[in-house]
Every structure is written in structure tokens, then in C-alpha cells.
Amino acid sequence: MKKKIFFGIVVLILIVGAFVGYKFFGPATATPSGEFFYVKTGATYADVKNELVEKKFITSTTWFDYAKKILRFNNIKPGRYKITKGMSLFKLVRMLRSGDQSKLNLVITKIRTREDLAKKVGNLFEFDSLQMINLLNNNEKLKEYGLDTNTVMAVVMPYTYSEVWNSTPESIFEDFNTAYKKFWTNERKVKADSLKLTPLEVSTIASIVEEETNKKADKYNIASTYLNRIKIGMKLQADPTVKFAMKNFALKRVTGVHLKTDSRFNTYMYAGIPPGPICTPSIESIDAVLDAPKTDYLYFVASHKFDGTSIFTSNYNDHLKYARMYQQELTRRMDSTKKAKENQ
């Protein structure tokens, strides 16, 4: 009889142990709200466990509380945590306790304005766009980096940055600045110096090149054209700078009325290099400026073939001829599009 009782107790202990073990180490999570769980800065333990239930990552807090006590989960660490379907409570609590959050990729391509950058990062991180724009508009803070509100976008290099969700605007900007300084090697600085340009001025010219064309071969000749204009004191007369000055990037044709926009970025009105970049240039465009070929080009215009290429000349009359050909073809295409819409 005693053996049966003993055996029964052992079996009961094993069953209870198996049950408890299953609760702790068995599949316990679901992902109806997506794989990522966000713990906000300042959140309490109660906030975390209640939100886990509300968003249906776990069904109740009872066993989660037990796991919390066993693993001594006392310090709440904000972040973006990846919860996979069927994750155990033990693994979940241990991940939250250690702050083992999943990083996200901040991919920088071409961005034109500080506001656009602020909006992009504000949609990705815990902080909002207002916090970022406040930093980008703070000349006193930017002065520490040798920048101002006009030049600040030059340091936003077109890379993929691995960041934590609860990063601050300051920490992200530090990563931008670190990447920028790393990009400007001694070799690139020597090339810039040979052109009698600073790295910031190179980035500014490169940003115009970036807006002018996507054709790699043309980038070098466009860069050469602008460098030639700078050498002789000729205005850059770059249409993209007018669009930037007006903040009208959808403008198809720059005309006389647009050229009257009074802005230091309007290179038809003001001579010299604009006070800062008009977009975040690609590395290809920066290197196109640094490695620009020696030419006598002073003019270029988009080809009337509308194949994305440009026609380069050193003679103004030739330039006018190709410009008229382009404008005539542009007008023809716009009229054709208008008629097609009217006939619909």
C-alpha cells in the first residue's frame, strides 16, 4: 500500500513538474499583432505584461509573473523585441530582462530636406519627427560638428545604419557624423584640396550633380562643367537649385518667373557654390566631382531624345541650339499628354 502511495506521489510530482515545465519552456506566444513588441521608455512591469496580453502575444499574465520572479526580471529595458510564434515564457522573459532587442535598418538614399529626414526617422524610431527637426535646426548644436542648418545634410551619407528603436536623435546623428568622417579619407581630402574645395563644398556640388542625372557617365562631365564655371566665376545656373529654393521638386520646366526666387540656393541669381547641399548625394556623385575629367565644357542640356543623357558643349550658340531642340520636344510631349487626357 505504501509503495502504491509513494508511486502515486512520484507520478503526481512528475505530472506537476511536466506541467510547470511545459508552462515555462513550452510554446507560449502568438503573433497576431506582428512579430515585434515595443517597450516604451519609462514603461513599468505592469505596462509590459498588460500590453503583452492586450496585443495577444500571451494569453494571461499568471505564468508570466511566475517566470518574472524566477528569472528576477526587475529592470524594464525599452526597445524593439522580436517575438516569434511559439516562443517559451522562459525565453521571452529572459530576452526582455537582458534587453536583447532587435535592431532596425535605417536606409538612407536620396533625401532633399531636413524635414524629409526628420519625417523618415520619426516614423521608424521611438522619438518623433519634431525631436529630430529640432536637432537639425539647432545651429548651436550643429556648430559642434562644424555644421549649420544649410550644411547639415552633407553628413547624412547614403548608407544603411543599424540602430536600436529607442535611439535618440543625438545618437543617430552621431552615427551619421561618424560615417561621414570615415568616408572622407585622406585620399579624398587631398582630391578636394586639389580642386580648392572643402569636403562640404564637394558634397554640395555633388548634390546638384545627383539631381541632374542618373547616368553615371554623365555625372563626371556634369561635375566637370560646374567646376569649370566655378573656376571662371560663372554662375552655376543649375535648375535643381531653383527647385530646391522654391521647395517645388515636381516642377517640370524652370522658367523666368522661377528664376526670380530670391534665395542663396538660386544659382541663377547668386554666383558661387550654394550654402549647402540640395539633397544627400550618392557616393558615386561625390566621387564624380572628386574625379571629374579635365574638359572645356561650360554648358549642357538634356538630350532631345529623352533617353536620360545630356549633351555637353563649350560654345554657347551650340548650347542654345540643343536647348531649343529639347524644349520643342518637351512641349510636344506635354501637348500630346494633354490631348490624350482630354480624349479620355
pTM of the entire structure?
A: 0.87
- Closest CA relative to residue 283, chosen from 193, 179, 198, 194: 179
Domains and CATH numbers, the chain: 12-98 (3.30.1490), 104-183 (no CATH), 186-297 (no CATH)
How far is residue 319's CA from residue 300's CA, in Å, rounded to a whole number? 7
The 10s digit of each residue's pLDDT in 14-54 is: 555 555 555 667 788 888 878 999 999 999 999 999 999 99
Q: What is the DSSP string of 52-69?
A: HHHTTSSS-SHHHHHHHH
- Closest CA relative to residue 112, chosen from 27, 208, 231, 229: 208
CA 3 to chain centre: 71
Q: pLDDT per position in the chain (344 positions), as tens?
A: 666 655 555 555 555 555 555 566 778 888 887 899 999 999 999 999 999 999 999 888 888 888 889 888 889 999 999 999 999 889 999 999 999 999 999 999 999 999 999 999 999 999 999 999 999 999 999 999 999 999 999 999 999 999 999 999 999 999 999 999 999 999 999 999 999 999 999 999 999 999 999 998 899 999 999 999 999 999 999 999 999 999 999 887 788 889 888 999 999 999 999 999 999 999 999 999 999 999 999 999 988 888 889 999 999 999 999 989 998 888 888 888 777 777 76
Q: Is the dihedral of CA 274, 275, 280, 283 positive or negative?
A: positive
